[in-house]
Structure 1
Amino acid sequence: MSNEEQISLFDVAPASSAGAPPMPPAEVDPELIPTSAKVPIPVGTYNSMEKMAEHCNRCHRCDLGEYRTNAVIGRGNLSAPIMLIGEGPGQTEDETGLPFTGKSGQLLEKILASVKLTTETDVFICNIVKCRPPENRVPTTEEARACSGYLREQIRLVDPKIILLTGATAMKNLVGIKQGITKVRGQWIEQDERFYMPIFHPAYLLRNPSREKGAPKWLMWQDIQAIKAKLDDLKSA
């Protein structure tokens, strides 16, 4: 995916910067949106996450809809200053309809709590694609593109100040980064009046439990402190 394609898919102006309600959707029949990726999802299509969930749970814009039990829309504060975006749902997420559950989700909650952040007040969690790829494989470019309008609307509705990117798929599709996570984690990227940071996925931290200096868990501790400091700075600005 070229940088130009990345910008066209995910360049989202924050709602607060416009000073006015979003432009009304173009002449698109909303009932056709879940049926074909050829039908665009205009800015302002959804006025709530619940309405989007209705579409996602009957969506066939790509083949992933053939395999899902539940579309996984998101969880957390719908007005959160921080949005965390993962790659795609796993088996547990597909069964529950909630992202980052199980051991990964438990570790994520502990990481957030270590700097007094919670999904109840500070964080909204979602994924690049809303349906589980078979065998938990990486979503394809076509699948990410088919789902991009939903994600764009989620960003608009929540309007976060900070977006955390977990995994290569999120980095590539949101900010055009194709490097490995170890080379770019912890770095701030300012784009479309928001601050993005790539971070380790909790599942990766579970596979690398060492807390020694320089280990992934130690680096994650540095990153989450930097995230909290950035949030505090933005609140006081």
Structure 2
Amino acid sequence: MTAASPSTPAEIAELLAFYASAGVDDALEDTPINRFAEPAARPAERAPAAPRRDPRPESRPAPEQALGQVKPPERPTPSSGLDASNIPDAPARMPAAAAVPDEAQAAAARQLAARATTLDELRRHMAAFDGCNLKFTAKNLVFADGNPNADLMLVGEAPGRDEDLEGLPFVGRSGRLLDRMLAAIGLDRSSAYIANVIPWRPPGNRTPTPHETEICRPFIERQIELVNPKVLVNLGGPSAKTLLNTTEGILRLRGNWRVHTTASGIAIPAMPTLHPAYLLRSPAHKKLAWRDFLEVKAKLKDWVSHNLRGN
């Protein structure tokens, strides 16, 4: 005879207390379960109920629509105020592939840069140019600093926060180090001309994208052509790669003379070297930059001596 199941709360609590004292920690069923057996087939699902019919007469479909014979919409006549020739026939044509906007902006930059005959005119063109998205997040156009008639031109990559605020290149910690590097070879900002490949600060000092670099490339190339320096110094890998058309890293490029050729065919000797910001992070490499600047000093001296002999 099977014992009666507890029915009152007191009996249930007493039974649970007995189970707990006996060490029971899992609930078991009276009938054993074969957990390796195939699951029983689920009963067929009921078909969805038919949608309720709307008794309103205006919501009922027309007889031809109910039979699947939907008439195409009629073309409006010219008297309706619409141009019927602008309405495409079915099926509609796929839209043509859009042109890449970056290439169009780079082409516009090339046209503006080629049109500039002076540095002031180039600066005005760059200030009016809206084809680079960096312009809309920057505070100022960072065009250049120094003497445009100098024999030495230095080109970095892009302005930082301090440069963006003042509108001048290399005025922060990197700029102060660059000033000391120039002083070490007997120069200063009155005897050098300084610019950047990118004239607007990228947000958060991030690296400019290849599209942004290509859009701004015509401006710096024209700027170099108008300044026509005797020696060009590329400060950092991005400047060297952009203006010397190379993919080599700066540690391999630095210390070796290269040539930057302008659009008019003028060949300018170029010295790739380490960026001052990199030297602040890696002071042990300052000796490498020092060697590069000694090469620049010697090149400038040779050019002056050559011209004195020519006169």
- SS at structure 2 position matched to 1:198: strand
Q: CA deviation at 1:111?
A: 0.6
Q: CA deviation at 1:131?
A: 0.6
Q: Which residue of 2 aligns with 1:45?
A: 115
Q: CA deviation at 1:133?
A: 1.0
Q: Which residue of 1 aligns with 2:209?
A: 140
Q: Which residue of 1 aligns with 2:168?
A: 98
Larger RCO (CA within 8 A; separation ≥ 6): 1
2:124 corresponds to 1:54: yes
2:276 corresponds to 1:202: yes
* Contact 2:157-2:198 within 8 A present in 1 as well: yes
Q: Which residue of 1 aligns with 2:292?
A: 223
- Aligned-pair identity (%): 38
Matches within 5 A, 1:111-130: 111-121=181-191, 123-130=192-199
* Contact 1:86-1:167 within 8 A present in 2 as well: yes
2:303 corresponds to 1:234: yes
- SS at structure 2 position matched to 1:177: coil
Distance of 1:182 and 1:36 partners within structure 2:
32
Specify every segment of 5 or more residues in structure 2 that has no aligned partner in the other structure, as ranges: 1-103, 262-266, 307-311
Q: Which residue of 2 aligns with 1:7?
A: none
Q: Which residue of 2 aligns with 1:26?
A: none
After TM superposition, the score normalised by the length of structure 1 is: 0.78
Q: Which residue of 1 aligns with 2:177?
A: 107
Q: CA deviation at 1:55?
A: 2.7
Distance of 2:199 and 2:113 partners within structure 1:
18
Among 189, 192, 200, the residue aligned to 1:131: 200
Change (3 A) 1:66 1:202: same
Distance of 2:260 and 2:173 partners within structure 1:
32
After TM superposition, the score normalised by the length of structure 2 is: 0.60
Distance of 1:41 and 1:75 partners within structure 2:
24
Distance of 1:119 and 1:152 partners within structure 2:
21
Distance of 2:290 and 2:249 partners within structure 1:
19
Among 182, 185, 189, the residue aligned to 2:258: 189
* Contact 2:178-2:276 within 8 A present in 1 as well: yes
> What is the RMSD computed on CA atoms of the aligned residues?
1.8
What are the Cα deviations for residues 78-118 of structure 1, in whole angstroms up to 9, with x where unaligned? Answer: 11111111111111111110001111111101111111012
State the 4+ residue runs in structure 1 displaced beyond 4 angstroms. none
Specify every segment of 5 or more residues in structure 1 that has no aligned partner in the other structure, as ranges: 1-34, 210-214
Letter paired with 1:77: N
Distance of 1:71 and 1:43 partners within structure 2:
16
* Contact 2:221-2:243 within 8 A present in 1 as well: no
Letter paired with 1:116: G
What are the Cα deviations for residues 2-54 of structure 1, in whole angstroms up to 9, with x where unaligned? Answer: xxxxxxxxxxxxxxxxxxxxxxxxxxxxxxxxx94442326652233233222
Q: How many residues align?
A: 197
